[in-house]
Structure 1
Amino acid sequence: MFFKQSDVSSETVGKGVTRRILGYDSEIMMVQVDFEKGSIGDPHRHPHRQTSYVVSGIFEVTIGEETQRLKAGDSFFVEPDHLHGVVCLEKGTLIDVFNPSREDFL
């Protein structure tokens, strides 16, 4: 399947946070998440494996008890059911990949 940006709308999922699903099937999903400076991806957990790539911006990423500052080109991985969240320090974009797909996003 092909997912063209012009055909896929974004949705607001929090104050200063929008999400656009870039591709998926039942096993894998890729999502673009855009953040305004100061916006927060609240700490949460889910049963999916997640890996995320920082396309742009600067983020404070917390996984469990550890927090690190990540910038464009950096990435992180979250095991299933681990508490994690982000704070956007400089306007930016993350690409999140989930296994299996996040049915709650559809």
Structure 2
Amino acid sequence: MRPEGDGFVVIDLLGRPMSDVVDWLAAEELLEERGLGYLAEPFMLEGARTHGGSEAGARPLRVRITEVDTTRIRVKKDDFGAIDAPLLEYTLDWPAPPELRPIRPDERHVWP
């Protein structure tokens, strides 16, 4: 939570605001309600370059978060659990850049 005026703004673990200014109790409730489960969900990384690829024509890449701390966020290309898939990782600044976004419902079944 970040103090602001007479209240607090709730910040998620990716460094993104989750609320307007609220009181302490509302902030705690929001954090508890949100939990950590969203970190296990797939995300899209806009403009990701794959090995040897160029930025021209880069399209969103489906990724999974592998690590978060207050200096960086590490994601990997979603391999859907395939043990023989090549590992493609990206290190992003914290807070999360706008290029890392939640996956939309219409993108849920897109193979990267």
TM-score class, shorter = under 0.3
- Structure number with the bigger relative contact order (C-alpha 8 A, sep ≥ 6) is 1
Q: Which has the higher strand share?
A: 1
Question: Larger Rg: 1 or 2?
Answer: 2
Normalising to structure 2: TM-score of the pair? 0.25
TM-score (norm 1): 0.26
Q: Which has the higher helix share?
A: 2
